[in-house]
Structure 1
Amino acid sequence: MVNTIRGEIDSGGLGRTLSHEHLTTGAAGMERIPGFMDTAERRQEMVDRCVEALARVRQSGIDTIIDLTPFDLGRQVWLFEAVAERHREHDVNVVCATGVYRWVPPIYFNWDPDEVAEHFVREIEDGIEGSDIRAGIIKLAWDLEARLTEGRNPPRAQMEKMARGAARAAKAAGVPISCHTLATDKLGVPLLDIFEDEGLDLRAVTIGHSNDTDDMAYLTGLAARGATVGLDRFFTTEETYVAQRSAIALNLVRAGYAEQVCLGHDAQPAGFWGKWNPERRSDLWTLVPEHEVPWMQANGASDDEIDAVLRRSIRATFDAAARMKG
């Protein structure tokens, strides 16, 4: 079973899924900063934007989005609750996350991996911040700070600890892990090394933002180890961009890894990336189903391969994680 913001569903009910999205983003505590979401009007607009975007992507044939916003990236439980209440208006499943974003917060510095795991499991099994919303996936983020290995509490050491905690939580609670990575630094490799050392089934792991590189040796290497390759950044419909990003997906499909590729945008309809975006867009989650997928089909991808990429790959990560529980 998979936790969504409306309760549990069978993994087969996920359907066509966008693997890496956000309702909102910013920072932990941003709800208490004047000018962000401190008025009823702003909060209502945030909810409306999310519902509109979900309804629009449902028209494109998407059944589920995975929201990978941990607390330090600005996760808002009230927003999940409000969007769940308006489910009839959009009919999209939303899976939300526990975990940690970039630059591990100091609150975790003195925790050991088991304490990290206990916290993540609590948000998966008991609920987030005292609510009935339970996380269905664990988020990790490894970016340029992974290069920093010296000094007191170096970022790399903290990130490795969090990865071990995430692996232990995934095994205990039976949920998958999805990783924001800096693909140009090939950070999926050390992450998979840690997960293997922790005894994790790598089929339950997605190495995300991998379409920020077209290094096929790196990408096929991730898949060959059993991981799912998250091609989950897609920001524009500019023709050359669509062709470049879509070709990465098609090349992995042609290499035999359709069942280990997932797609997404890394986009948010109500986010605060620096400040409130006045542009109200309901179509930001439609680029994959309405541009990338048609490009892949026009260039030889079969209906079965598209089904593998949008549906079966994601289900497989949840099923692999569930088999580890215990």
Structure 2
Amino acid sequence: MKKIYTVCGEISTKELGCTLLHEHLVATDWNVRMGIPGWLDFEAVCREVGEKLRVISQQYGIHTIGDLSTWGLGRDVNIMRRISEISGVHVFCATGFYADDKPFFRGASDETMLEYLMGEIHDGIQGTGIRPAVIKCATTEKGVTPHNERQLWACAKAQMASGLPLFTHTYPHNESGLKQQDVFEKAGVDLRHVVIGHCGDSNEIEYLEKILKRGSYIGLDRFGQDKHNTFENRMAVLIELLKRGYIRQIIISHDHICYENNDKYDRKARVEMEDETIDLRYIHRFVIPRLKEAGFSDRDVEQLLVENPKDIFEK
């Protein structure tokens, strides 16, 4: 049993319980928030998201949420902490980069990027003392560009120095998950500490097996997002991989944004929508029943939602 950092302090891995490892609580642009006072009503948004999360947690026994927002994606650990306090749900956060289309570190050296990562890991984020539980990095449709490779390298070095698990965002249609593994492995990372994300957007079982055979976890982590792949396709991939024996290397989640503040007068607060296809309840409403229909047990579901998240942090 190990300790991990949440936005409200340390907990043991045993306390994680049912965990959605790849989600986003609030997405709001930092530049707009700084430039236009009052753009985001901090307490109102935290109350709205926190109360909805509290209800969902009570309904379905969700104990922990991983908010994998990074620099450039509107990460605010003060918001996360307040939502956690209101909801009673454990929330952990990430340090790291999105992808190379973000200009903030385009001219930075590998060493500079690593220094910023390790600063958050050791000293905390935004002057709060809140420390990340995971490291996050990304590649997009562009694949692994030279600049993006430097970001991956910095995250790899931070992983080895800290022992924190490494989560990724990928565009699986260019098989960038394998390219990410190449960079990490070359840097010296044990690939068992890596979760290659958004693999459920792909229907290519052979590609996913290549990732799994190298020891990494894969994230089938966009359930409910039909714009990237259909529910039927996602379930077919999940069930096939389970039948092939990979149950201990799969995480399931939604990559859901609970609240988006895109315009002060026309805000898109997804938590208020009753559309059950874009909600943190989706896995419990649709995925688990389909698994049961396919012959999988409560113990199998627990492996996916409880044991695998715990094991990622205990490796």
Q: TM > 0.5 between the two?
A: yes
What secondary structure does 1:285 align onto? Answer: coil
Please give the alpha-carbon distance, in whole angstroms, between the structure 1 residues aligned to 2:306 and 2:74.
Answer: 28
Shift of residue 203, structure 1, vs aligned partner: 1.3
| Aligned residue-pair number | 305
* Within-5 A mapping of 1:86-97: 86=86, 90-97=87-94
Shift of residue 19, structure 1, vs aligned partner: 1.7
1:62 lines up with 2:62 in the alignment: yes
**Paired residue for 1:80?**
80
**Paired residue for 1:252?**
241
1:184-216 superposed Cα distances (whole Å, 9 cap, x missing partner) = 111100000111111111111111111111110
What letter matches 2:309 in structure 1? I
Please give the alpha-carbon distance, in whole angstroms, between the structure 2 residues aligned to 1:120 and 1:215.
Answer: 33
What secondary structure does 1:23 align onto? Answer: strand
Please give the alpha-carbon distance, in whole angstroms, between the structure 2 residues aligned to 1:74 and 1:182.
Answer: 21
**Paired residue for 2:181?**
192
**Paired residue for 1:219?**
208
Q: Verify the 8 A CA contact 2:114 2:154 in the aligned structure 1.
A: yes
1:163 lines up with 2:128 in the alignment: no
**Pair 188,121 (structure 1): closer, same or farther in 2 beyond 3 Å:** same
Structure 1: segments with no counterpart, 5+ residues: 148-155, 321-326
Higher relative contact order (CA 8 A, sep 6+): 1
**Pair 28,104 (structure 1): closer, same or farther in 2 beyond 3 Å:** farther
Q: Verify the 8 A CA contact 1:104 1:158 in the aligned structure 2.
A: no
Q: Verify the 8 A CA contact 1:53 1:269 in the aligned structure 2.
A: no
- Identity %, equivalent residues: 30
What secondary structure does 2:143 align onto? Answer: helix
Please give the alpha-carbon distance, in whole angstroms, between the structure 1 residues aligned to 2:29 and 2:113.
Answer: 20
> Please, which moves more after superposition, 45-54 or 288-297?
45-54
1:124 lines up with 2:121 in the alignment: yes
**Pair 236,97 (structure 1): closer, same or farther in 2 beyond 3 Å:** closer
Structure 2: segments with no counterpart, 5+ residues: none
Shift of residue 173, structure 1, vs aligned partner: 1.3
What secondary structure does 1:144 align onto? Answer: coil
Report the RMSD for the aligned CA atoms in angstroms.
2.3
> Please, which moves more after superposition, 92-101 or 229-238?
229-238
Shift of residue 33, structure 1, vs aligned partner: 4.4
Please give the alpha-carbon distance, in whole angstroms, between the structure 2 residues aligned to 1:196 and 1:236.
Answer: 31
**Paired residue for 1:295?**
290
Q: 1:242 aligns with which of 231, 243, 250?
A: 231
